[in-house]
A and B are shown apart, each in its own frame.
Chain A
Amino acid sequence: MYVASRGGETAIQNAEQLYRDLIGQFDVATVRAIQRTMPYLIDRVMGEGSLYAPELAALALAQSGGDLYEAVLMLRAFRSTQPRLAYAQPVDAQRMFTVRRISAAFKDIPGGQVLGPTLDYSHRILDLAVLNAADQTTETRRHGATLATTDNPKSEIENRKFPLVADWQRDAGLLPHLPEHACPDAAEIPDVTREPLLFPAPRAMRLQSLSRADTGGVLALGYANMRGYGSVHPTVNEVRLGYADVEITHPITGEPFSIGRVRVSQAEVVTTFKGSDDRPQLALGFCATVGWNEVKTIAGSMLDMAMDLPEPHPSHTEEYVMYHTDPVESSGFCIHYKLPHYVTFGSDLDAMRGVGEAKKVKGLGDYYGDGSHLAAGMPGTYSENTPLPNGERLGEGASS
């Protein structure tokens, strides 16, 4: 009985203990192992938790036994207590250390297509040999662990700077030019984690929301758009994974310097613009997140574009997308239905039972006056002999 008549706190402690027993012991070695071997999982938790902290993300995963929503919540709840000490410079995708960058729009692009680390063209076959081998350090594991988990990529990667496909399109007049004005002061950019969300939302808040959105939620809505619940037929202009320096201005010298390096991913999609402009141009959809998450950035950039349409599908309006893809809010509300609802349910039952009673009571007198105004029919509304939506006639119900 979960409304324990006495001792709710003991019940909580016992329940948590059972959970801990189930997932077993873990220590710092477990945390390190998770961080080292599951970079994509870590990235997902960090992206949705909107906090770049691989160690804490690994800890959250260990503590939650791998429950993704719980891990994200833990990271978010930690993040919300942290002060904002400084604002970083915007990450310039051209300057970041790109390890993977592909475009579906052109066969070849300036700088070239770079497959980088990906399983895209691999056979997804379970490597059962791992289970049988005494030494489990297989080639796949060693290889997978080195590139993705170190935040200090090899020097040849650092030297590879790739121009943006969109810049080429801008120069060719296919995309509108970026506004001339300089990037606004970072402190002036609306922050969805510190300010109320109102609609229409500033674009900054939209991109922030997508960045921290639930991967599955963004995918579901984005997939609906791709399948046809939207009038855009986008092409992936560019998907980019890389390492970006987090540059802040030194508080004393005023010089910009890097305080660390983070994995980031971004995607751009383009579609033909159906505006009133004489010269048709492409329109761009964009999504970026910390960590490497191609599914989310591709689906997110399609949603970004869909939200811009004059009359988007109801499930692709800004409000719909932003409210329903937050992992903490959607999962939290979903599981809140486990909480007792007997008061509200009782109240609803009362209203439902009352319907039957009101129909039995002649003239509704017990509940709502004598009901004569209803039985007589109000001007311009249901009269005594007009069938009700449920097929009955008002006169019959009131007197039966």
Chain B
Amino acid sequence: MKTVAALAAPNAGYSYAFLDEFAKRELRRRTLKAIAIPGYQVPYASRELPIARGWGTGGLQVTLSLVGPSDVVKVIDQGADDSVNAANLRRFIARMSGARTTTDALAATIVQSRHRIPEERLREHQALVLQVPDPEPLRGVEHDISKAREMHGEADYGLLWLSLYEQLVRYRRVTLGASYPALVHKRYVMSPSPIPRWDVPKLHQARHLTLLSAGREKRLYAVPPYTDVRPLEFDDVPYRVENQRDWTCFRTGLRHKFMNEIPQPGGGSTYEISDTGFVEKVLKQTSGVSVPSATLRGSSKTPEVSTGATYYDDEGRFYLDGYLR
């Protein structure tokens, strides 16, 4: 005989891809709205996930609402596939969705990333999901989000421009590091998430879809394929990416890719390319040595041996002529 206690016992099972269907429906509707209004921050309820809040739960919710059993997922943190947080998110997504995983940016259908965009040019039918700690580019000049929302509504970005100008006056250059604000589709200023300035141009007229989601702040926004994304720059003070032109990757010997600086004992630094998936492919291509972590658990597809076209060429030139002045 069934008892009330038995009927009321907590269900041990979870929905496909963890989120229940109501949550998925909400996220998908918000995502569609975000795509329809490029750069506009769409508020959403944001469910708690069994991952610490602020550790990529915004990106994770979007990924879980997108992922299907036939997807191939790549997860990176600061460019690295093997960072513990990336590994943790990846195994959670794979465990809950049955999706295959990869370290190859071009083999993935969904790339979830914390603070980097891969060096190889992403393609159509790929989605890049960026984890966002603070979606509000106006936070620095207006911390009341109700007022910031009005400012977005009126495209009132004067204070933001003023803050850039003040930096020029005080320091003779724009002192913003990562999270450089960018104007999307000539309408909304967005925070591209704390990607380095090196990565912001990659969003301009990109072939892939970019979804940006902040779990704690409960906002998601999007850059649809082939959309204008312009970092804020004055006509006479052009936008500058990080100056790493003299840095050479100690693992590949390559230059003009985004590098990590690694302090050395006794002073000085060495450098390595931040995009570990790209490095893996380069090493395989040049030495023919197989790299053990290239094929992750559940991955049946061997990563492409040859690297794809990159956003910046070997001379450091961006692939869209004239975009970076």
A interface residue numbers (CB < 8 A to B):
2-9, 11-12, 15, 53, 56, 73-74, 76-83, 193-200, 317, 319, 328-329, 331-336, 339-344, 346-355, 358-359, 364, 367-369, 371, 373-374, 381-382, 388-390, 394, 397-398
Known: A6-B82, A12-B87, A354-B240. 13 other contacts (CB 8 A): A4-B82, A8-B81, A53-B10, A73-B50, A81-B47, A197-B43, A343-B79, A343-B195, A347-B177, A352-B177, A369-B238, A374-B169, A397-B172
Is B50 touching A77 in the complex (CB atoms < 8 A)? Answer: yes
Q: Can you show 21 pairs from A to B with CB atoms below 8 A apart?
A: A8-B81, A9-B88, A73-B52, A193-B47, A194-B22, A195-B45, A197-B43, A199-B145, A333-B54, A339-B77, A340-B78, A341-B78, A342-B78, A342-B260, A347-B178, A347-B198, A354-B173, A364-B173, A374-B168, A381-B169, A388-B169
Whether A200 lies near B175 (C-beta < 8 A) is: no
Interchain CB contact under 8 A, B86 and A8: yes
Query: Cβ of A53: which chain B residues have Cβ within 8 Å of it?
Result: 10
Q: Is B230 an interface residue (CB 8 A)?
A: no
Cβ–Cβ < 8 Å partners of A82 in chain B: 11, 20
Q: How far is the CA of A211 from the CA of B243 in the complex (A)?
A: 49
Bound together, the chains give a CA A234 to CA B231 distance in angstroms of: 50
- Complex: how many Å from CA A56 to CA B11? 12
Closest CB in chain B relative to A52 CB, distance in Å = 12
Given known pairs A3-B83, A6-B293, the reply for A329 and B23 (CB within 8 Å) is: no
Query: Given A81-B20, A348-B178, A398-B172, A332–B55 Cβ distance below 8 Å?
Result: yes
B43 contact from A8, A78, A196, A381, Cβ within 8 A: A196
B133 touches A (CB below 8 Å) = yes
Tell whether, in the assembled complex, residue A332 and residue B53 are in contact, meaning their CB atoms are under 8 Å apart.
Answer: yes
From A12, A195, A334, A343, contact of B84 by CB (8 A):
A12
Contact at B243–A354, with CB atoms within 8 Å?
Answer: yes
The answer to whether A77 and B78 touch (CB under 8 A), given A3-B83, A339-B85, A344-B196, is: no
* Minimal beta-carbon separation of A211 from chain B (angstroms): 15
Docked CA distance A343–B115 (Å)? 7
Contact in complex: B169, A382 (CB < 8 Å): yes
Q: If A81-B18, A340-B77, A349-B261 touch, does A355 touch B172 (CB 8 Å cutoff)? A: yes
The interface residues of chain A lying within 8 Å CB-to-CB of B44 are 196
Evaluate contact between B19 and A8: CB separation under 8 angstroms. no
- How many chain B residues touch the partner (CB < 8 A)? 77
Q: A4-B84, A6-B82 are in contact. Are A329 and B20 (CB under 8 A)?
A: no
Task: Using A8-B82, A335-B52, A340-B77 as known contacts, say yes or no to A80 and B47 having CB atoms under 8 A apart.
Answer: yes
For the complex, what is the distance from the CA of A339 to the CA of B57, rounded to whole Å? 14
B91 contacts A319, C-beta separation under 8 Å? no
In contact, A83 and B22 (Cβ under 8 angstroms): yes
Chain A, Cβ-Cβ closest to B26: A194
Tell me the chain B residues, 41-97 only, with Cβ under 8 Å from chain A: 43-55, 57, 77-88, 91
For chain B residues 159-188, which have a beta carbon within 8 Å of chain A? 168-179
Query: Which residues of chain B are within 8 angstroms of A11 by Cβ–Cβ distance?
Result: 84, 87
Given contacts A199-B145, A332-B54, contact A350 B243 (CB under 8 A): yes
A74: B residues at CB distance < 8 A: 50
| Nearest CB in chain A to that of B179: its residue | A344
Proximity bits, B276-310, A CB within 8 Å = 1, else 0? 00000000000000001100000000000000000
When each residue 234-266 of chain B gets 1 if its CB lies under 8 Å from chain A and 0 otherwise, what string results? 001110101110000000000000111100000
Residue of B18, B23, B80 contacting most chain A CB atoms (<10 Å): B80
Which of the residues B46, B55, B85, B115 comes within 8 Å of A344, measured between beta carbons? B115
Residue pair B45, A193 in contact (C-beta under 8 Å): yes
User: Is B218 in the interface zone, CB < 8 Å from A?
Assistant: yes
Q: Which residues of chain B (1-31) have a CB below 8 Å from chain A?
A: 10-11, 14-15, 18-20, 22-23, 26
B274 at the interface (CB under 8 A from A): yes
> Is B216 located at the chain interface by the 8 A CB criterion?
yes
* B315 contacts chain A at the CB level, 8 A cutoff: no
What residues of chain B lie closer than 8 Å to A331, measured between beta carbons?
52-53
Which of B49, B79, B169, B177 has most A Cβ within 10 Å? B177
CA distance A8 to B145 in the complex (A): 38
Chain B residue nearest to A328 (CB atoms) is: B53
Interface residues of B in 113-151 (CB under 8 A from A): 114-116, 133, 144-146
